[in-house]
Structure 1
Amino acid sequence: MSTESFGNRRKFLKLGASVPVISLAAACGSENNPQLASNPNPSPTQPTETPGVGNPVTPPNVVVPASHPPRGVHAALFNDASTSRALCWFTDGLDCPATEIQWGPVPAGMSLTDAKNALANPLPNSAMASTTQTTGLENQTHKVVVNGIDPDQAFRYRVGSSESGWSEVFVIDPTPKADETWTMIHFGDHGIGELPQRLTAEIMKPQHQHDLLLLAGDLCYADGNQPIWDTWFNQNQALLATTTTMAVPGNHENKDNVAADVPLLPLKDYAFNNRFNQPGEVSFFSFDYNRVHFFGFTGGAFLEDGKILKELATLEADLAVAAVRRALGQIDFIVVFQHYTIWTDQEGRAPGNPTLIAVEDQILLRYGVDLVLCGHDHVYQRSKPMVLGQANPLGYIQVMTGTGGQSIREFEPNISAWSEKHFVGLGFSKYTISPGKIISQYFGTPPISDEDRSRVVHESLDSNFELIDEFEITPRPLRLAKSFVKPPRTETELAQAHDWPAIYAHTLARNCAHEPAAPRGFLHKYQRAYPNLMG
């Protein structure tokens, strides 16, 4: 791979794609030595004569360590998917010198070795990063948005500074053109154990090469233990630094804020918001990737920030515009992704949250959303097109892929009529998108042991990932697409149309039922006010 050229703009496979990212040391790589980061092929030390000794000796290399080596580098979309990227990384301590990104294209014919050699092939552009303290730690988070990327060439970059130390040079494939086929991977509920790293290694294999990665919440399970975030980013840097990644928070991210015991106050220091560089409000946002429009949001996972009504109003306004654009032929599909499932058959989790589901489901139907991608429940389950849990060709298909490796769960004995396919094990969903078509595939490996699938089942580490499920969707007919063009309701109108105290109460009850550490005082307050709702 080191001699492969970049003559073909879509031929390049991600750096390190054939190497499992199990080792923290390997994930950090040459970041700890700015000289090695700048020159990955340094000349060997020449032998020197030592006075009084007849034979030449080789003195040891003297390495000046980087003062603040960048780590946990990851890339996301921010503005135009073809010409911009948002980068984020971390350094230890609160005294890191100012850092930047150096970047440029990978010209046709440049080898991988040359692309990674910033000393011999300097990166022509730079931009300074903003710096804030990392949530809950005496470390720093660095963010920068790069615009003006050449859409026809791979994007190579490194982050840091000559004073703090440089990361290695990473390469991201160019965004495919609108008339080209591209691929996307989606899963949630990852973690830092053996199974999550097995999954990461699998999706980095050449046969699963992908252009976009969607993470459906519950990423590292720090649960307030902030250094676990660093472990997760370090373990997955080889993937996240070379793959355009968008993430939404889950209920375990809700535990990672500095005031989790103060319900319904605007908490501005969520670790998730600090550690990701995404558009909008970081935890809810929208973007286009070619002819697919995406909206990602918390689905109530961050209920205590008091923004769930604002999120749903933003969802409605965004989908209203997307429905118009689809009717005009500007996009083919509308996709919503979130952590919480809307409907589920995981054991002990159904029904989910009827009051919030009723509001969200109605919005999804109103504007004809095509796919809802989620996680949360540690199983795979794909629905038929449905509305309010009933099969309906006008509805959306939910793809629940909570099989990122944190644990393996079971299903209820009786599977609902809306369910099309379900699977217990470790795996991920892969989507191949071309103009007018999405082919969805689920690759998984089942646990060998049936004794307790809720625990980590290490036997599955030796199993091959196989194709478990596959389906295809095409754009809605024009006449039907036009029927979904409707004016959006305002936040005030939505507030007046629903019993929001009850929705807050029931959503928090769901969150508390799934996470015992959630704030119980607030729950008890609404249990008294809405005893029938709380059951």
Structure 2
Amino acid sequence: MNSKTSTKRRHFLKLGASVPVLGLMGACGSDNTTPPAIAGTPSPTNPTESPGNPVAPNPVEPPVVIPASHPPRGVHASLFSDASTSRGLCWFTDGLDSPAAEIQWGPVPVGMSMEAARNAVQNPLPNVTTASTSQTTGLDNQTHKVVVNGIDPDQPFRYRVGSEMGGWSDVFIIAPTPKANEAWTMVHFGDHGIGELPQRLTAELMKPRHKHDLLLLAGDLSYANGEQPIWDVWFDQNQALLATTTTMAVPGNHENKDSVAANVPLLPFKDYAFNNRFNQPGDVSFFSFDYNRVHFFGFTAGAFLEDGKILKEMAALEADLAMAALRRALGQIDFIVIFQHYTIWTDQEGRAPGNPTLIAVEDQILLRYGVDMVLCGHDHVYQRSKPMMLGLANPLGYVQVMTGTGGQSIREFEPEISAWSEKHFVGLGFSKYTISPGKIVSQYFGTPPMSSDDRSRVQHENIESDFELVDEFEIRPRPLRIAKSFVKPPRTEQELAKAHDWQRIYAHTLARNCAHEQTMPKSTLHEYQRIYPNLLG
């Protein structure tokens, strides 16, 4: 719906709603000279009630409800400056003429029921923060963003977004961030979509048994592929989850397609669709944050390669991990976790690490600072590695957890599984982590396909059935002596630029990205070479 159509629709609704009001005004101002009925005298409009002849009350006309002109939709929450006291919110409205938007927010007071907390009329929200507004990428709609600081860390956070003129969302409630000495949970998966399998996965996550504090989305979220209305479908399908769960997301290769014209990325518009639709700190598409005693760094890992930021990302990764390794040696954090879209190592059928140069650079950085886990997606299978480095099992290395089983499709493995692999699974599912002082317990819950010939359906497709526990392992903090060995000064962007052949890295990564795009013609790489000769050499 374009803005003109949207405006006409709201004008029509307002006119239609005004008709009963005009009728009432005419009745009040008429010249009707019919004498009023005398009290106690029966008349059609003033009957006399007797014990044996009770009179039914006159019907009460329901109030006229004017539909909201700009109802908020696709509400989702993220972390911002502090995991306990701040949140970033983002939502969308139709048309380009939305009234000024805001968030009303506050704690759920002790003793207030959840039902009462969701009633903003009887229990008004005490705080108001104005949102920023911009046009939604590729649509005649608007994106609204706001950051809330000063949240009570001890009480649930309740909020609604919108405006008095445009309409309000429901009141959503987010549980408080657990304390550092308490156990907490997070979920991770990638490669979601809007079909039946993705919705089945979301329904499973909404079950009380899988309640979680943090959600990490490892790229390829909506599969809009440039069709921007698909993003709206995805956000609407998942609003119940995303508006009540603190969520952090990184982009994948299908987010990269949101800025592709004729299969050739356009540098000036790179990554705007993803960045427009998420409200996250830093560069939006690569950032770091702490959640209690775990440090996270999320980035594109080459998904947005053509925006020219890969060297900047790697330098940011280097600087961030150097500080995290120091903090771990000082006892301030226990674990360092990377999450990204592209897998580093894989055994999915028909795939292999197709860009060895970028893998060598990233692996070297991860090993230099002793990263504990790498959480990723991209390949539509589940595969968990042993602690490894450079594709070989090594107790000093990281554990890669590849969970690309969000539901877009279900794929298979190569006949031979690599020696670094500890567990692999074909189906639909997600990884769930329980973090307590000194330990991360990882569990994978999934459901296999109906058969190897029918991977469009899963065995636990009925919402009443539960996904099965497929894999479980745990990670302990590194001993202090080993943690100290990973404390090293960061190399600068200039030093990294000189240390590696970035022309080859760009070329190999672009070749991988193209090779992993089933819908792209084989000639696409030649188009890259024509448009970006400086990247490909």
Question: TM-score category by the smaller chain?
Answer: 0.7 to 0.9
Distance 1:294 1:322 in 2: 9
Distance 2:151 2:492 in 1: 36
Q: For the structure 1 residues 486 and 102, does the alpha-carbon distance in structure 2 shift closer, same or farther, using more than 3 Å as the test?
A: same
Please name the residue that 2:470 is paired with: 468
Give the SS at the match of 1:521.
Answer: helix
- Residue number among 190, 194, 197 corresponding to 1:195 in the alignment: 197
Of 342-351 and 512-521, more deviation after overlay is shown by 512-521
Trace 1:166-315 onto structure 2 (pairs within 5 A).
Answer: 166-257=168-259, 263=265, 265-268=267-270, 270-315=272-317
TM-score of the superposed pair, with normalisation by structure 2? 0.86
- Residue number among 153, 158, 162 corresponding to 1:160 in the alignment: 162
Task: Note the alpha carbon deviations across 1:467-507, whole angstroms, 9 max, x for none.
Answer: 10000110000010000000111111111111111111110
Distance 2:458 2:325 in 1: 45
Corresponding letter in the other structure for 1:461: E
- Residue number among 514, 522, 525 corresponding to 1:520 in the alignment: 525
CA-CA distance at 1:524 after TM superposition: 4.3
Distance 1:263 1:71 in 2: 29
Please name the residue that 1:354 is paired with: 356
Q: For the structure 1 residues 510 and 163, does the alpha-carbon distance in structure 2 shift closer, same or farther, using more than 3 Å as the test?
A: same
Q: For the structure 1 residues 278 and 530, does the alpha-carbon distance in structure 2 shift closer, same or farther, using more than 3 Å as the test?
A: closer
Q: For the structure 1 residues 141 and 529, does the alpha-carbon distance in structure 2 shift closer, same or farther, using more than 3 Å as the test?
A: closer
Structure showing greater radius of gyration is: 2
The question of whether the paired residues in 1 share the 8 Å contact of 2:106 and 2:159 is answered with: yes
Distance 2:171 2:367 in 1: 45
The question of whether the paired residues in 1 share the 8 Å contact of 2:174 and 2:246 is answered with: yes
Trace 1:114-513 onto structure 2 (pairs within 5 A).
Answer: 114-257=116-259, 263=265, 265-268=267-270, 270-453=272-455, 456-457=456-457, 459-462=459-462, 464-513=466-515
Q: 2:94 matched to 1:92?
A: yes
Q: For the structure 1 residues 261 and 270, does the alpha-carbon distance in structure 2 shift closer, same or farther, using more than 3 Å as the test?
A: farther
The question of whether the paired residues in 2 share the 8 Å contact of 1:408 and 1:426 is answered with: yes
Task: Note the alpha carbon deviations across 1:213-257, whole angstroms, 9 max, x for none.
Answer: 000000010001100100000010000000000000000000112
Distance 1:68 1:114 in 2: 25
Give the SS at the match of 1:336.
Answer: strand
Percent of matched pairs sharing the same residue: 79
Q: For the structure 1 residues 52 and 339, does the alpha-carbon distance in structure 2 shift closer, same or farther, using more than 3 Å as the test?
A: farther
TM-score of the superposed pair, with normalisation by structure 1? 0.87
Task: Note the alpha carbon deviations across 1:177-213, whole angstroms, 9 max, x for none.
Answer: 0000000000000111111111111111111110000
Q: For the structure 1 residues 52 and 408, does the alpha-carbon distance in structure 2 shift closer, same or farther, using more than 3 Å as the test?
A: farther
Give ranges in structure 1 of 5+ residues lacking alignment. 1-32, 34-48
The question of whether the paired residues in 2 share the 8 Å contact of 1:263 and 1:522 is answered with: no
Give the SS at the match of 2:253.
Answer: coil
CA-CA distance at 1:450 after TM superposition: 1.5
Distance 2:165 2:246 in 1: 28
Trace 1:76-91 onto structure 2 (pairs within 5 A).
Answer: 76-91=78-93
Distance 1:431 1:158 in 2: 29
Task: Note the alpha carbon deviations across 1:36-74, whole angstroms, 9 max, x for none.
Answer: xxxxxxxxxxxxx99699863343552200010000000
Give the SS at the match of 1:153.
Answer: coil
Task: Note the alpha carbon deviations across 1:298-328, whole angstroms, 9 max, x for none.
Answer: 0100111111111011000000000000000
Task: Note the alpha carbon deviations across 1:275-299, whole angstroms, 9 max, x for none.
Answer: 0000011000000000000000001
CA-CA distance at 1:266 after TM superposition: 4.4
Aligned residue-pair number = 483
Give the SS at the match of 2:221.
Answer: coil
The question of whether the paired residues in 2 share the 8 Å contact of 1:116 and 1:170 is answered with: yes
